A and B are shown apart, each in its own frame.
Chain A
């Protein structure tokens, strides 16, 4: 299957002894000029790139307080060193958060601190060289920007911020990552990450309507570009056709149908994901976000709702208002934007949705908190709603629900291993090793509680699990979305969907 060893799952998670250089050979494919240029980046390594990189670092730490503070504040206490799933799975010490940060901190110290200018050896300062750039290009793409380290750092130092800045600096000197940058380019060209043309989306939804009618006997609609709908639904484009994602999309449709809420997708904004965040580019992230504003204005909707996608929800919840607001043209009675789980949860509480839980009786379920919703967003009015909302929905729709170990869920959740723009085949070794801690936690509930399926609310998690579960001798199909459970169990007694 692959030319690397899949980590062994034991009785419980063990912190490995460090193994220098264990994953130093891994790096993503480099972006060609035609991928770089539409994003405003040079196509190849520019002349005197060292200087350009150093200057860009200086510019960014002036624009982002996080970067400036995080460069200074680390005391190398080591609290983070056993927290990163990529370290736990690979044992490579450069995957320890403090060491990953030091890849940039060493350069920062050399050029921007007195200690690093005068005593580079003493404080671990390094010149910006080709070796350093190559190291950045390897290890800043072995980070999924999941923020688990930031939870445990006594100063909240967030490696995600540093990895994002590093990628922006690398893009600026002409060393971009093919996968993420190509995806951003596709959004500009097609409106979505997968490059699906509008016609293909409409066709897919049409045949989906037929399938659902066959299953339910009801005309449940999946509308596209319908002006005057109440809700603009923005989903990760994988929801349109990938497995198991699409089964969740059917769930969204059933919820809106049963509640009698008119809604529509937009082909202009046929993507909730925003890889502009992964590459640390405010400008590109904003360009991607703006489409959603345009679509909402164009279609005259009154609410915006996001589907199950982790990083999309981070950009939506935390950044959208800033990047593309104000949204004063929408209904002020609803937060902008909303998560589909907020919509469904609210409808359950109000008694609008009813479920036949036995429809999910063939499964024993557990819930994987996706990193971005868990540590960078909220649902509802109370802190922690991002944990309770999906769980309440799951419990409303099934009879058998089990939690994984407490230090692997909630805000301590392990990332699936392929967030942050590394969901690409050439990084499969990183992905499998990074998935190990989650797989370990899953194995424990499979062994003790007979768990058969793992639920999540993220398109990247779902795609990643489908790929990596078999490496750990699990069935690829034991992975599904919250709204697939909803879809299975919902009682549809609203004949015409109004």
Chain B
């Protein structure tokens, strides 16, 4: 088990490094590319507060998706809310003492897994059953769903069926957080747990190379995050400013 523990520790660090490097690269790339023109989809807010509310509604309620497809919204929203709750519950394994708000919210995480599972099942069914969605589906879309279903499935198994030595897992995670590689807690000999952890590693590592980039993309989308004030302010990108403009008479 020493080897398995060491290997997983190595994979966790590598995946995190890939995630951070990849995500930073993407965020820098998005930040560097200017928006040379004002293109908010209107009606758009004219004040900062209005803008924060618009982005907030998109981020938390998936407002646009709600307008476009109730089914996709319902399953997608369930999945993401479930994911959030499960994520919060998992924070317990990485913090000591556990933060107060995590203590407060974490009991809900117990059901989050089921909510995620229903959401994923619905989204996958849509992909298979609706001819339009099937048409735009790539193999990688199925693969991502398979990865998430595996992750949720193994998690639910651990939580409700096979159980595992959760204290040992927490010690292992805390060791990772403290870079205490010398005396890292050994992971329990539990194959379902290994599957679960390996899938986590895969998800983290693949993030910056996959459609999971929709998460940072939401914040950088000019059609959503711009103020509607083009008559009040010029919006000149550096490269456009360098063009000057054709000579006046």
A binds B: yes
Chain A residues within CB distance 8 Å of chain B: 15, 17-18, 61-70, 72-83, 93, 96, 98-99, 102, 113-115, 119, 121-124, 147, 150-158, 161, 282-283, 286-287, 290, 293-294, 297-298, 317-319, 321-326, 335-337, 374-378, 381-384, 386-387, 411-412
Give the chain A neighbours of B237 by CB distance below 8 A. 63
In contact, B221 and A156 (Cβ under 8 angstroms): yes
Give the contacts of B208-248 with A (CB-CB under 8 A). Answer: 209-211, 213-214, 217-218, 220-224, 228, 230-231, 233-237, 239-240, 243, 245-246, 248
The residue on B at minimum CB distance from A295 is: B249
Task: List 21 A-B residue pairs with CB atoms under 8 Å apart, sorted by A's residue number.
Answer: A65-B30, A69-B220, A76-B136, A96-B135, A96-B136, A98-B136, A99-B136, A115-B209, A123-B139, A123-B140, A124-B139, A154-B76, A283-B243, A294-B248, A297-B249, A319-B230, A322-B234, A336-B231, A383-B43, A383-B228, A411-B41
Q: Give the number of residue pairs across the A-B interface with Cβ within 8 Å.
A: 230
Chain B residues within CB distance 8 Å of chain A: 26, 29-30, 32-39, 41-46, 50, 58, 62, 64-65, 67-69, 72, 76, 123, 126-127, 130-133, 135-141, 143, 209-211, 213-214, 217-218, 220-224, 228, 230-231, 233-237, 239-240, 243, 245-246, 248-249
B238 to chain A, nearest CB (A): 10
B70 to chain A, nearest CB (A): 10
In contact, A65 and B34 (Cβ under 8 angstroms): yes
Closest A-B pairs by Cβ, 5 of them: A73-B217, A152-B68, A78-B133, A383-B43, A156-B223
Q: How far is the CA of A81 from the CA of B50 in the complex (A)?
A: 29
Known: A75-B141, A78-B126; 11 extra A-B contacts, CB below 8 A, are A63-B34, A77-B72, A78-B136, A93-B132, A102-B136, A154-B214, A298-B249, A323-B245, A324-B245, A386-B42, A387-B43
Q: How far is the CA of A113 from the CA of B139 in the complex (A)?
A: 16
Give the chain A neighbours of B209 by CB distance below 8 A. 113-115
In contact, B224 and A282 (Cβ under 8 angstroms): no
In contact, B224 and A286 (Cβ under 8 angstroms): no
In contact, B211 and A74 (Cβ under 8 angstroms): yes
* Other-chain contact of A335, B45, B214, B231, B245 (Cβ < 8 Å): B231
* Other-chain contact of B210, A77, A93, A98, A115 (Cβ < 8 Å): A115
Q: How far is the CA of A318 from the CA of B131 in the complex (A)?
A: 37
B136 to chain A, nearest CB (A): 5
Give the chain B neighbours of A325 by CB distance below 8 A. 234
Q: How far is the CA of A67 from the CA of B30 in the complex (A)?
A: 10
In contact, B213 and A72 (Cβ under 8 angstroms): yes
In contact, B41 and A156 (Cβ under 8 angstroms): yes
Give the chain A neighbours of B68 by CB distance below 8 A. 79-80, 83, 152-154
Give the chain A neighbours of B245 by CB distance below 8 A. 286, 290, 323-324
In contact, B138 and A122 (Cβ under 8 angstroms): yes
Give the chain B neighbours of A124 by CB distance below 8 A. 138-140
A37 to chain B, nearest CB (A): 17
Given contacts A68-B29, A150-B223, whether A286 and B213 have CB atoms under 8 Å apart is no
Give the chain B neighbours of A336 by CB distance below 8 A. 231
In contact, B33 and A122 (Cβ under 8 angstroms): no
The residue on B at minimum CB distance from A15 is: B132
A58 to chain B, nearest CB (A): 11
Q: How far is the CA of A475 from the CA of B28 in the complex (A)?
A: 55
Q: How far is the CA of A319 from the CA of B40 in the complex (A)?
A: 12
B217 to chain A, nearest CB (A): 3
In contact, B133 and A282 (Cβ under 8 angstroms): no
Give the chain A neighbours of B228 by CB distance below 8 A. 378, 383
Give the chain B neighbours of A387 by CB distance below 8 A. 43
The residue on B at minimum CB distance from A152 is: B68
Given contacts A122-B138, A287-B246, whether A154 and B65 have CB atoms under 8 Å apart is yes
* Other-chain contact of B214, A68, A74, A122 (Cβ < 8 Å): A74
Q: How far is the CA of A74 from the CA of B210 in the complex (A)?
A: 10
Q: How far is the CA of A147 from the CA of B222 in the complex (A)?
A: 13
Q: How far is the CA of A123 from the CA of B230 in the complex (A)?
A: 38
Among A78, A98, A322, A375, chain B packs the most CB atoms within 10 A around the CB of A78
Give the chain A neighbours of B30 by CB distance below 8 A. 65, 68-69
Q: How far is the CA of A150 from the CA of B246 in the complex (A)?
A: 33
In contact, A322 and B33 (Cβ under 8 angstroms): no
* Other-chain contact of A76, B35, B39, B69, B211 (Cβ < 8 Å): B211
In contact, A68 and B131 (Cβ under 8 angstroms): no
The residue on B at minimum CB distance from A102 is: B136
Q: How far is the CA of A312 from the CA of B103 in the complex (A)?
A: 56
Give the chain A neighbours of B58 by CB distance below 8 A. 154, 156
* Other-chain contact of A121, B130, B139, B223 (Cβ < 8 Å): B139
In contact, B218 and A73 (Cβ under 8 angstroms): yes
In contact, A69 and B39 (Cβ under 8 angstroms): no
Give the chain A neighbours of B221 by CB distance below 8 A. 66, 69-70, 73, 155-157
In contact, B217 and A155 (Cβ under 8 angstroms): yes
B205 to chain A, nearest CB (A): 11
Give the chain A neighbours of B127 by CB distance below 8 A. 78
In contact, A378 and B43 (Cβ under 8 angstroms): yes
In contact, B231 and A72 (Cβ under 8 angstroms): no
Q: How far is the CA of A132 from the CA of B210 in the complex (A)?
A: 23
The residue on A at minimum CB distance from B127 is: A78
Q: How far is the CA of A468 from the CA of B118 in the complex (A)?
A: 46
Give the chain B neighbours of A18 by CB distance below 8 A. 131-132, 135
Q: How far is the CA of A433 from the CA of B88 in the complex (A)?
A: 49
The residue on A at minimum CB distance from B142 is: A122
* Other-chain contact of A153, B64, B131, B233 (Cβ < 8 Å): B64
* Other-chain contact of B222, A69, A79, A153, A386 (Cβ < 8 Å): A69
Give the chain A neighbours of B123 by CB distance below 8 A. 77
Give the chain A neighbours of B230 by CB distance below 8 A. 317-319, 321-322
Q: How far is the CA of A139 from the CA of B170 in the complex (A)?
A: 54
In contact, A76 and B133 (Cβ under 8 angstroms): yes
B225 to chain A, nearest CB (A): 8
Q: How far is the CA of A61 from the CA of B236 in the complex (A)?
A: 17
Give the chain A neighbours of B143 by CB distance below 8 A. 122
Give the chain A neighbours of B137 by CB distance below 8 A. 76
The residue on A at minimum CB distance from B68 is: A152
In contact, A322 and B37 (Cβ under 8 angstroms): yes
Q: How far is the CA of A155 from the CA of B225 in the complex (A)?
A: 10
In contact, B46 and A319 (Cβ under 8 angstroms): no
B86 to chain A, nearest CB (A): 19
